[in-house]
Structure 1
Amino acid sequence: MAEAAAPGTIVEATHDGAAAPAVVHPPAAGETRRVRGVLLDIDETVVDLEGAMDRALREVSGPLLPHLGEDEWVTFCRIFTRGSDDIYDRYIAGEITFAQQRVLRAERCLAHFGAAFVSGAQAASWLEAYEAAQPAYVRAFDDVHPFLDALEAAGIAYGAVSNNVHDYQRAKLDTAGLERIRILVGIDAVGVAKPDPAIFHEGLRRLGTAAEETVYVGDNPAHDVVGAAGAGLRGVWLNRRSATLDAEAAAAVPVQVASLSEIPALIGS
């Protein structure tokens, strides 16, 4: 049995999903390692956005592709949710609107199956239907509330920092039953997105904790873990999908978990 980490100490985990002893790094002389705050990503970290997208996409896109089989629908949804990061990055950069990026992603999915919107009006109708359908499917992951309970019991402050605008993410959290996450920083708060240090620092300011005593948890290794480290926080990669990284990327992501339930033991709460 591996020894438990000392209270407030974060440990490193392996990258291949194997059960291996955690490596505890004791604080250096004069260094504090006490975890007093946790900042969280939202999408795919506390909210199952991909699941909500999948259900809404099938509901509103079915009339456009009535003959797709199950495997093809899985491909359609994966193109939208995981195969269109370049389009979403254009939204983050301010090149297109949020609505435009959704339509462009849908057009990419349709094109993969030899289809297309026949007019701008049809695209607008699809978008209206999708925007109405998706919120009804938004849910929190099962491990979120127990994790927040553990943080509260340990007296650890928490909040969220997201690469989307505040009001949209606030509505998403509330719909998912996560009103208890009161501190929320969106990209409109400081005019930049992760991995820019400024958005993490705004989260720290609102949380009232120092960077070196705060952990950031997210599903994107580059934006959430490397970005957090660049801002002085300790990043934890929430790898719900058992994804693998190449050696260079793995070296920059020393701490990963498969569930939020693993984090209290890592930070000694």
Structure 2
Amino acid sequence: MSPIDLLVNLLLGLALGTVGGLFGIGGGLIAIPALGVLFGLDQQLAQGTALVMVVPNVLLALWRYNQRNRIEPKYALLLAGSGIVCAWLASLYAVELQAERMRLAFVVFLVALALYNLARLFMRTPPVSQELRHPWPWLGVVGGAAGALGGMFGVGGAVLAVPVLTNVFGAGQLMAQGLSLALALPSTSVTLLTYALHGHVDWVMGIPLAVGGLLSITWGVKLAHALPEKVLRGLFCGFLVLCAVLLALE
């Protein structure tokens, strides 16, 4: 890799980390369409390369979160355990699919996610409870579903886990985010390993992206706290639709 290519990938990582911090998604969901559209990577290679940035970002976020907010061990272990198994199985299936089918599935996923977040703009916020509304073993179902989603698309488990934990289980936003990080770390790690073993990771591109993401994700978080939540959600919906359109037209 030439110094120019290294600089371009580092700058892209800085941009993706900032946007990921702004929308609270760690950059991976943004990196996948960016790598496909800008660099022409096929879907599996884009997802695997994006995971090189996602895994250290999740690790850093989990470490910092646990310094401020205690994560209930039994909840986290159940989510992580069920998530890692389902992520591994889903990733084994994903790496064998045709790239075009994977791209179409990812486009559908982005559109569905945009519509869901748009609908949440008009939903009433449920009351927060210190105790879960449902018995905690049901978290295994959440972990399995979120892990499978993450294993299939490389990212996305947290976007399912957080709203389910808050809307269905009555968890507070901080609790839900902490648990989703505990779920995401082993799931994304095993998914990255699966993609790497099948040759769907560009490490030369991924490592500078990871460095840039780690350096800049805090900037996006600070910007996110300065904007109203509805504005952020609206921007996120629009960005997802734009990514889906660009991927569909590629």
TM-score normalized by structure 1?
0.26
Structure in which a larger fraction of residues adopt strand: 1
Higher relative contact order (CA 8 A, sep 6+): 2
Structure 1 or 2, whichever has the larger Rg, is: 1
Structure holding more helix per residue: 2
